[in-house]
Chain A
Amino acid sequence: MTPQNHIELRSVRKAFRYFTLDDLTLDLPPGQIMGFVGPNGAGKSTTIRLAMGLIAPDAGEVRLLGHAMPEHQAIAKRDVAFVSDDMKLFPHATVGWHMNFIASIYPGWDATYAATLVKRFNLKPEQPVKGLSHGEHVKALLLLSLARRPRVLILDEPTSGLDPVARHELLSEFMDVLRDDSRSILFSSHNTVDVERISDRITFIDRGRLVDSRDKEDFLERWRRIQLQLEPGAVLPELPNIVGRVADGSFVTLTTNRFSTALIEQLGSAVREVHRMSLEEIFVASVFHHREVAGS
């Protein structure tokens, strides 16, 4: 194991009655924002709960800041902040009470930064939590997480249900946190726009299995959609690294996960257009390809 990784999962398995997370290996090095992307029910929250020590793996090894989880979670969580979309603060206490509470627990609490975030997020410390809207509640959770200056920030669908303005505000704050390159973020979402904006490494997960994990730029460089127009009677040769093929008469659209100029040269004059793919398109194509391979 690489000791400097903030999060390490090795061949982790966790079985539930109707779902199994299987053979998951994942590393989050310091200073990295990892976007953890998957459809609903893919295993994102299960993975995060394993990383936080809230559930124990049936097999494999989980380490958070080098500490074995869940055994040493009390020590590991001193330097970790965790926010989940279904996490709730104490409803009868105020935002200010929670700020004082967290400040009294974490020595690294930055009161100046907390005050800045209160203003930026337009929160009222005297307001009871039960009166906050969903967006305000998420902002309060993030304020409490960010102002403690954690080494690792674990976010499980934090922008779920937020309006675009609130999402923009939160994502900007995540970028601010990463100015200190010793910190890292694991950011789970099925919103690829958010993930594409802030992540520098992306991991796709589907049906409890890791689909792919690499640098964002690597994803964007490797995946292309190629539109071809074939001559009448022409047959497309078998090509390597083609993960999708859609034909409409003489028009064919190929999706490749290892784009190269050699491929274009091989296709020759049939090539009409080559499109870069958005992360969402890559995600969908990647998941379908993974399911196809797994099903074969």
Chain B
Amino acid sequence: MNSLTYKLIAKDFQQHRLLIAGTIAIGLVSLLVAGGGTTLLFNLGMLCWLTAIAAYGCVVAMLGIATERKERSLLFVLSLPLGYGDYVRLKLVGLMLCFFVPWAVLTAGAVVLVLAAQGMPDGILPFTILLCGFLLTNFSMVLSCALFARSEGVMTLSIIVHNIAISIFIFLIGPIPAFRDHLQDPAPTWGSEFWTVLAVEGAVFVVICSLPYFVAARRRDFI
């Protein structure tokens, strides 16, 4: 990556800094609520925490790529000494970084909450980590779609799929006995199922993130 690419990544980060700070703040407050000691507060807090990360991911992909295209700032960016590959790379790295910072803080916050909160079983930790991993992979899907999509319809569809996917993940992974049966355990169980799901998440993340290099970056017409 050249210096222009770094400058544009820094621009994306600067542009989203308030959004990043806001998401971290909302997420941390949600975690405080979740650690309130009752089931109601836990459910409410975790729902807000989950929504903050997921919604932020959609907004970043929309603002960073789709809106830039819609508002014709993309034409300005492409007038600079960049190739298509450079643009795809800078958007992928820049917006991933914009997502990664609040995601990492809020993932760490959730881990601390599980380990430190009185009355909260540590057995929930593996599922929490898998959920966080899924949120990162799910964001990479929206980001890649934003790089492929040329219409608002496709972008909207990817956001709908993104949101539904979270519910599907919870309903598919949650009932697996290796996780369900250990949620109330005082200590986390790191079984083979945990590592398998984590590996699948990692593999899907790598595949989705590399797709734009093979498709979007090789487009003959970029605008």
B200 to chain A, nearest CB (A): 37
A84 touches B82 (CB 8 A): no
- Cα distance A26–B36 when bound, in Å? 72
B70 to chain A, nearest CB (A): 10
Write the A79-98 contact mask toward B (1 if CB under 8 angstroms, else 0): 00111101111111100000
A54 touches B78 (CB 8 A): yes
Q: A74-B81, A77-B82 are in contact. Are A54 and B222 (CB under 8 A)?
A: yes
B76 touches A89 (CB 8 A): yes
B72 touches A88 (CB 8 A): yes
By DSSP majority rule, is chain A's interface helix, strand, loop, or mixed? mixed
B80 touches A77 (CB 8 A): yes
Q: Is A78 an interface residue (CB 8 A)?
A: yes
A154 to chain B, nearest CB (A): 9
Q: Is A229 an interface residue (CB 8 A)?
A: no
Residues of the A chain whose Cβ atoms lie less than 8 Å from the Cβ of B81: 73-78, 105
Write the B70-86 contact mask toward A (1 if CB under 8 angstroms, else 0): 01110110111111101
Q: Is B40 an interface residue (CB 8 A)?
A: no
Q: Is A56 an interface residue (CB 8 A)?
A: yes
Q: Is A55 an interface residue (CB 8 A)?
A: yes
Q: Is A104 an interface residue (CB 8 A)?
A: yes
Q: A49-B223, A104-B7 are in contact. Are A73 and B83 (CB under 8 A)?
A: yes
- Other-chain residue from B11, B76, B220 in contact with A87 (beta carbon distance below 8 A): B76
Residues of the A chain whose Cβ atoms lie less than 8 Å from the Cβ of B4: 105
CB nearest neighbor in B for A145? B79
Q: Is A288 an interface residue (CB 8 A)?
A: no
Spell out B's residues near A (CB within 8 Å): 3-4, 7, 11, 15, 71-73, 75-76, 78-84, 86, 220-223
Spell out A's residues near B (CB within 8 Å): 49, 52, 54-56, 70, 73-78, 81-84, 86-93, 101, 104-105, 141
Can you list 16 A-B contacts with CB-CB less than 8 angstroms, sorted by A residue number? Answer: A54-B78, A55-B220, A55-B221, A56-B221, A70-B84, A73-B82, A77-B81, A87-B72, A87-B76, A88-B72, A89-B76, A90-B76, A92-B15, A101-B7, A105-B4, A105-B81
Q: A56-B221, A88-B71 are in contact. List 5 more A-B contacts (CB 8 A).
A: A54-B78, A82-B79, A87-B75, A88-B72, A93-B11
